[in-house]
Chain A
Amino acid sequence: MNSIVVQNLVKRYGEVEALRGISFEVARGEVFGLLGPNGAGKTTTIKILTGLTKPTSGRALVAGFDVVEEPMEVKKRIGWVASEVIVDDELTGWENLEIQARLAGVKNWRERAAELLKYFGLSEAANRPLGKYSTGMRKRLEVAMAILHAPEILFMDEPTVGLDVGARVGLWEVVRQINKDFGVTVLLTTHYMEEAEQLCNRIAIINKGVLVATGTPDELKAKYGVDVIELEVDRPVDTAKLAAFGEVAMSNGKVLIKTGNAEEKVAEVVKAVEGIKSVRVKKASLDTVFLNLTGATFEGEQADIKRLYMKVRMARR
């Protein structure tokens, strides 16, 4: 059974079309990643799936219930972690958990809250107001609040934004455990490729309100990513000879060969070229896939900023 079914979802905010008919399915027990640049429609999708806003058209089923027809049934079965940490800073950790538990209709909340505080290493801080917590602690408490009622599906909107490396890896571990031990389906959004690769069984890449690709990380890399063999040589190379291995390009005096399965080909490449000083293999990554599909080019942006800065400096004179 699918935990989430999204069919041709459209969301318009006035003139702006945030979602232009996206469709995907998330199987029960999956960790599904929604990847995209800022403003791609990730948060809008989560808002519709959690019942915070209604789609303009299209249909979405969460845990088997229609989000528009039966939002309360959906909300009983989901947990939600926001990208900005949303908790009540004036209340203590324990009080935040109590309120969340009562809102979610958890009966034996005291036991569960105590367990979760222990699990997240927050037992000692339980009676301190959240305003005195560190960002990492606040995030952990927010996750505890989201799973307090043992949801079937957990929505995490950019869960690791603003966390340090340790806290981020810690949260990944939590997501894996929640998913593995309790069979909770997870839908998370992120723009960290590494995060998606670490956590997700399947990924959908969204750009400007359209899903541009869906698949496992390996599938996406095979389909849209490229490996690169980078050679440093001390004499001119016959590029025509190398064309058999893949697309060849020169950059800063280095030879770049774009290819699939670089590890397998590298030995032959080395045999075919004379005067090699160094060899590097860059594997296809979700980064290259992401850039490939969303058309975000960092070089272009940097050039623009440089020009803008020049203009500002001129204007000051």
Chain B
Amino acid sequence: MIDQLYALYKREVLKLFRSRFMWAMILAQPLMWIIFFGNSLAGLPKGFLAQYFGVDNYLAYMLPGMVTISMMTAGTFASISIVIDRRLGYLKRVLTTPTPRSAVFLAKALGGMTRGLLMVPVILALGALLGVHYKIDWGALVAWLAGLLALGIGFSSLFAVFTSNTSDVHAPGVIANFITMPLMFTSTAIFPREFFPTWLKALSEVNPLTYATELGREALIYGSAPSTTALAALALFAVTTTAIGIVMVETQLSPD
């Protein structure tokens, strides 16, 4: 199992690093967010920002949220990759060897997570370049990175589950829209909870994006100790989606 997972994960990583488009996306996507969205609230008075966002620079507030959103969207590649492997027949190749279906699934989930993680340093570097002052809490930083791993594998699993049995290339995009849009807007990734109506507040509290984002703000912007609740919530999310994924895939994953 370990050797097979290693082989399939290595395949994902090799393909990832060889794709020029992937590198273009890793660089371009953060740039778009930062330049366009990051500046969208630049005109707000600093006092207002400091009061409601906890920091007088909206870009600084948004940066951890952007990392979180990137981790989530990178997860869609896990499901796209499963669909492509099925269409190319590669899943048949794998499933005629003594490889458990869960290894196929976990490799895709880890691949999606890796894709997301590659964007983190790019986002942080761009932030620094554009004048974000990081106030780092090292304990929170470690917790945040662990949280991002959990978030990445959790979302990749979630996306991959939905396409474990289809060869329709449209499926990943549709699923992604149903998951990413609502989760993005019901989290605190781009706006503070204080602005939300009660029902949206309630939703944001069961949204994994919220927890990952708050951990990131503690680690980089507020420089405060990490919230163990947030880390626990993310671990729970990752374990649940991965477990559901493994069970589903062992019974559902079809070679063609």
By a beta-carbon cutoff of 8 Å, the part of chain A in contact with chain B is 50-53, 72, 75-76, 78, 80, 82, 84, 86-88, 90-91, 95, 98-105
Indicate whether A90 sits within 8 Å of B4 (C-beta atoms), given known contacts A52-B95, A104-B98. no
Docked-complex contact A91 and B11, CB < 8 angstroms? yes
- B90 touches A (CB below 8 Å): yes
Closest to A155 in B: B96
Q: Which residues of B contact A80 (CB under 8 A)?
A: 92-93, 96
Can you list 29 pairs linking A and B with CB atoms under 8 Å apart? A50-B96, A51-B95, A51-B96, A52-B92, A52-B95, A52-B255, A52-B256, A53-B255, A75-B96, A75-B98, A76-B98, A80-B92, A80-B93, A80-B96, A87-B93, A88-B90, A90-B15, A90-B18, A91-B11, A91-B15, A99-B8, A99-B10, A99-B11, A100-B93, A101-B7, A102-B4, A102-B6, A103-B4, A103-B7
A87 to B92, CA, bound (A): 11
Of chain A, the residue at the smallest CB distance from B103 is A103
The 5 closest A-B pairs by CB, nearest first: A102-B7, A103-B97, A80-B96, A86-B89, A75-B98
Of all chain B residues, the one with the shortest Cβ separation from A142 is B93
Give complex CA distance A151, B8 in Å.
Answer: 21
> With an 8 A cutoff between CB atoms, is B227 at the interface?
no
* A95 surroundings in chain B (CB, below 8 A): 11, 14
Complex: A53 Cα to B90 Cα, angstroms: 15
- A88 CA / B95 CA spacing, docked (Å): 15
Nearest residue (CB) in A for B88 is A86
**B7 pairs with A105, CB closer than 8 A:** no
**Is B94 part of the contact surface with A, judged by Cβ < 8 Å?**
yes
Residues of B within 8 A of A72 (CB): 98
> What distance in Å separates the Cβ of B142 from its nearest Cβ neighbour in chain A?
32
**Cβ of B99 under 8 Å from chain A:** yes
Q: In this assembly, does B3 line the interface, its C-beta being within 8 Å of a C-beta of chain A?
A: yes
B3 touches A105 (CB 8 A): yes
Would you call B93 and A98 a contact (CB within 8 A)? no
Contact partners of B4 in chain A: CB under 8 A: 102-103, 105
On chain A, the residues within 8 Å of B97 by CB distance are 75, 100, 103-104
In the complex formed, the residue of A with least CB distance to B104 is: A103
List residues of chain A with CB within 8 A of the CB of B8: 99, 103
Q: Given that A52-B95, A75-B96, A102-B3 are contacting pairs, would A84 and B89 also be in contact in the complex, using a CB cutoff of 8 Å? A: yes
The residue on A at minimum CB distance from B85 is A88
Interface 0/1 of B5-32, CB less than 8 Å to A? 0111011001100110000000000000
CB distance from B98 to the nearest CB of A (A): 4
Among B77-106, those with CB < 8 Å from A are 88-90, 92-99
* Residues in B neighbouring A101, C-beta threshold 8 A: 7
Residues of B within 8 A of A105 (CB): 3-4, 98
B98 and A86: CB pair below 8 A?
A: no
